[in-house]
Structure 1
């Protein structure tokens, strides 16, 4: 595999950006890009999993960082949630704890990563659990796609 080829680099960059965007609060879908590249067969599955996992994890880090700094704006009119919603999310996270970060791969997992920042989850715990969840997601997606395409 020649990773210096512009087409391959473009595919890697596209997958990274799709995975990064999908992990933020923006409405992106990285699965379509991942499966499309896997079916095209121009990149090894392991490379797809690594690139998508790194992009997705770094996108979650953006959410975490937003959560770390967002509370200081809670009294502003434009703040995205009201005080009751924020308190409910904090109670939920306090009750179920850091293990909820293993759900960060799921469609509604992005807000969990924001709340983890608000709740000051240690960065190393956040990174460990989110990386496991995101990598597991892409590994399973790759395996399912391989089974379906034969």
Structure 2
């Protein structure tokens, strides 16, 4: 594998991992690659957004799976129940904020738990994450 390809693949992996339960630093990887000027900014933003969105959808799916096995009132902590209430109130719109550290994972999990529309969930997650990566990329040009 060529080094240039590894940079983009590394960004994808970092973005995916950053959007699941595990912590990650996809913003730093994106900033580094933008500063390297070896890649088109649009390509980097697209790769980071897709990776981060797929990671968030993994968390959404885990919420859907968990809802089948455990009732919300008995299985969740108070913090998790708060996320559930917020998502129940605002629906898929809350997923525009899925990029937020710590809180975003809970929102995606709650959206899956509540069985929100997959299509509207993908759209909101993708849009919110794309705006964040665009802002980060252009801050480092």
Shared fold (TM-score greater than 0.5)?
Answer: yes
Distance 2:82 2:135 in 1: 32
2:124 is the alignment partner of 1:105: no
Partner of 1:131: 126
Distance 1:87 1:137 in 2: 26
Query: Any stretches of 5+ residues in structure 1 without a counterpart?
Result: none
For the aligned residues, what is the CA RMSD? Answer: 1.7
Query: Any stretches of 5+ residues in structure 2 without a counterpart?
Result: none
Alpha-carbon deviation of 1:35?
0.3
**Correspondence list, 1:36-51, <5 A:** 36-51=32-47
1:29 to 22, 25, 28: 25
2:99 is the alignment partner of 1:90: no
Report the structure number with the largest CA radius of gyration.
1
Q: Contact (CA 8 Å) 2:84, 2:107: kept in 1 or not? A: no
Q: Given the two structures, how large is their TM-score scaled by the length of structure 2?
A: 0.89
Q: Given the two structures, how large is their TM-score scaled by the length of structure 1?
A: 0.84
Distance 1:53 1:17 in 2: 11
More helix by share: 2
